[in-house]
Structure formats: structure tokens, C-alpha cells
A and B are shown apart, each in its own frame.
Chain A
Amino acid sequence: MSWTSCGWPPYGRRMALATRDRRPPTVRTLWDSSVGKKTVMAVTGLIMLGYLVAHMAGNLKIFFGADEFNGYAHWLRHLGAPVLHSHWALWIVRVGLVVSVVLHGVCAFQLSRRDIKARPVRYAHTKARTSYATRTMRWGGVILALFVVWHLLDLTTLTVNENAQAGHPYENVVATFSTWYGNVVYIVAMLALGLHIRHGFWSAAQTLGVGSAARARLLKGAANLLAAGLTIGFISVPVAVMTGVVN
């Protein structure tokens, strides 16, 4: 009955018209759309952000001494006991994080490729307009991914930590931050993290459609607070080791 079924519009391009019978499943719709992929990035980003808040808070236990920090690390291995077997909670979190990191990275890569292809010619007259945090999202993300690899090799598998001993996380942290490169890598990555969260948290809120004119200040404030809080919290540990507060 509608005019859409009368062979109109008359061009050859694939048009998404209302005459189609059935839409693909929601997961397919999400993955095929730029808005859907951004949604995947927003959700996985928030999962990782939630983990980081817990991780940073746990790190601060180092200020209460070796016994308390190592005891906390030991407790993490038995989290959820007696319902969960030893290390199970840790592995559930790890699997969730790996899935989040991979989905976040794959979507970022695919969306970035689309974005770069959509603007093949630069303007002759260019100026930096967007904020530093916005412009550094892509390379900042790559830096963070590389940092995660180093961080795992350093303090989880202890592969690159020369003086490390398994089961002594406090001493291993002190060993890492007793080297100049350990401090540089960590502090640079945490500054990149702050910038990434500053734009990412606000951006995720817009992608998930929870932003509004009334909430704009609240969301930007929350993004800045999270970015600054996490960066300062994480960096406080190497600074404490460097200044001898933690040794």
C-alpha cells in the first residue's frame, strides 16, 4: 500500500526500506552498526573502569605495610571461598577483562579505520580544535594496551621483574619501582590512562544515551574526578617507593 513498494526511490544503491520483512537479530544489528560498535566500546570500557577503581583502591593497601598488602593479595586468591575454589574468582575476573579488552580493541580498530577512510583528504588550513584527551584516544589506547602487557609480565608472571619472588607482591612492587624505567613506564601509562578515561567516560555516557543537557556538568565532573582520582591513586605507589615512604 505504501509508496515505498512502487519501485521508488529509483536508484541502484542498497536502501534500507520499510518493506523488509524481518530485522536481523539484535547482536547482528549491534555488530554491523557504527553506533552498535560504539555501544560495545562503552560497555566494555565501563567494565574495565569498574575494575580499575577496585584495583587502585586495593593498591593503596601498600601504605599499611608489607603484611597487610601481602595478606590482601593472598585473600584475592581465595575470594568467594568457600563457594568458589581457590583462584576461581580471580580467573572469572581475568576472563571478563580479556573479553572486554579484546572487544574494546577490535571495535576501536574497526571504527578508527572507518573514520580515517571517511576523511581521506586533509584541509590545507588545519588547526587543533578538539581537546588533548579527545585527540589522543587512539594512540593513548595503544599505549595502554602495551602497558598492560608489560604490567602482566612484570607483576603477574614476574617474567621481566629481575628481583621478583612469587608470593611476595609487596617486595615485587618495591623492586619494580626501584628501577628508573619501571617508574617511567608506569607513570607515563597512568597519565595516558587519565586522559583516556577523561574523554572515554563522558563519551560512553553519550553513546549509551544517558547524557542530557541537565546532566552534562555532572557527567563531565564525574569523568574528571575518575580520571584524576585513578591517575593520582595509581601514581602514588611509585612516588611512595621513590621517596622511601614504602620500602
Chain B
Amino acid sequence: MKLTLRVWRQKNADAPGAMAAYEVDGVSPDMSFLEMLDTLNEDLIVQGEDPVAFDHDCREGICGACSLVINGDAHGPERTTACQLHMRSFRDGDTIDVEPWRAAAFPVVRDLVVDRTALDRIIQSGGYVTAPTGSAPDAHAVAVPKPDADHAFVHAECIGCGACVAACPNGSASLFTAAKVNHLNVLPQGAPERESRVLDMVAQMDAEGFGGCTLAGECATACPKGIPLQAITTMNKEWLRAARTSKR
């Protein structure tokens, strides 16, 4: 396959950026999107140009490092991460636009790499449980009803890639925050911080400069892990409950 790529190039956080066009030849339909970018970078290095910087790590769809908006879709046209997106999803001769996550809370570091530590600070503000450290507790010490365990698992799938923020017309991190609130608030292990978790995480989300939720639903469509939009509704419910009852 022969493709035309239009890629966002930006030297550093302060430099202005622009889309730059590149021709990539010899692309196999079995390549992943990141392998295709590797091919482009090898060509660029041979030509003495700077390779395109992009985040990647596990390349098996579980780490949440890759962060590419491909043809306007976070992670591209398939419901997966960019590393698990294969070039068979495109056709020979296609022109493909590749851009970084766009959000005020995600400043561009270089090219396609953005700073996502705002998400880490949301987690640090309440996305944990207070657990005794030391020896592992007996697996049956705390009983968790099956539907609650299932609910927690669905939301624990979030890999924190930030595709929800990138897809949201308001640059909102509501789905990300809601995933963690749903995951921990349903479990008995998360009960001691049930109120402070949702209040503090939402407050941190606002403090980081993310937008609010207008229920556009783009986040849930983009999420490679299928976190449902309903998670935000449940977070709102938890938030209202906590705002009414929390004394601390």
C-alpha cells in the first residue's frame, strides 16, 4: 500500500505546529498503525529528518500509551487502540490525518506526544482505596456480590489513554473520572472513601481545566475499552449523594 500521511509536527510545547505531508510506500495491510509510523520514521531518519515523536509502549492494547487522533477519530476508525489498529482498515492511496489529543489540559510536548499527567493527578485525588499493606488478605475475607464485581470490572478496564478527552467536544475528562468512581465506589473496599473520592476527583478534574459533560456521547464511542456513557450518570448520582451527605 502507498499512503499519504498528514502529520502534526511541533518541535516543543512553545513552538507553533503545523500539519506536514509525507508519502509512505510499502505499507503492508498486516502492519499496525504504529508499525506504519515506524516505517515512516525509518525513512525520515535515512533522509536526515527528525522522526515523528509519538507515545507507545506495550503495543498490545492494554497500556494506554498510544494517543493518536486518526482522521478525526481518537485511536482511528476501529474501536481499539492505535497500536491494535491495522492498516487493512485503510485503502491503498488513502490520505490519513494524524493529530495529537487536543485538550487544554493535555499540552503538546512534541509532535504527537501530549502531557497526560492531569489524569494522574485526578487519580491521586481519590482514585485509590485505603488498604492495609503487608501480607495479602484472604481472598474470601470480603464478600463482593457478583453484579457489583461485574460492574467494577467493566469500569476497571479503563487504561487511562485519554481518548475520551480527545473525542469530547468540550475536552471533558468525565468518562475517565467516572470509570474510576464507578470501579471503586461499588466495591466494599472502596466504601470508606465513597463520598470524598467522587467529590475530590470531580474537583480535581475541574481544577485541571477539563470541560464539563454535555452528554454528547463521543467519549463512549471513542473508548477502546468500551466504558459506557452510563458511567457518567452514575458518577453524577454519586456526586449528588456525596454533596448532600458528606460532612468531611
Contacts and interface: CB of A to CB of B under 8 A. Distances in A.
User: Do the two shown chains form a genuine complex with each other?
Assistant: yes
B47 interface: no
B69 interface: yes
Contacts of A121: 102
A12 to B, nearest CB: 11
Interface size, B (range): 35 or more
A119 B102 contact: yes
Contacts of B170: 114-116, 118-119
Interface string B11-49: 000000001000000000000000000000000000000
The majority secondary structure among interface residues of chain A is loop
Interface residues of A, number: 56
Contacts of B193: 18
A212 B230 contact: yes
Given A119-B102, A119-B169, A206 B236 contact: yes
Nearest to B170: A115
A216 B228 CA distance: 12
Interface of A: 2, 9, 11, 13-18, 20-23, 26, 29-30, 32-39, 111, 114-127, 129-130, 134, 137, 199, 202-203, 205-213, 216
Given A17-B200, A32-B206, A35-B202, 13 more contacts: A16-B203, A21-B248, A23-B248, A26-B244, A30-B243, A33-B206, A34-B211, A118-B103, A118-B172, A119-B103, A123-B102, A130-B218, A202-B215
Q: Which 4 A-B pairs have the closest CB atoms?
A: A209-B237, A118-B211, A118-B171, A115-B170
29 contacts: A2-B130, A9-B121, A23-B246, A23-B247, A30-B243, A34-B206, A35-B240, A38-B212, A114-B170, A117-B209, A118-B105, A118-B211, A119-B102, A119-B170, A123-B72, A123-B99, A125-B97, A127-B72, A129-B216, A129-B218, A129-B221, A134-B216, A206-B215, A206-B233, A207-B213, A209-B234, A209-B238, A213-B228, A216-B230
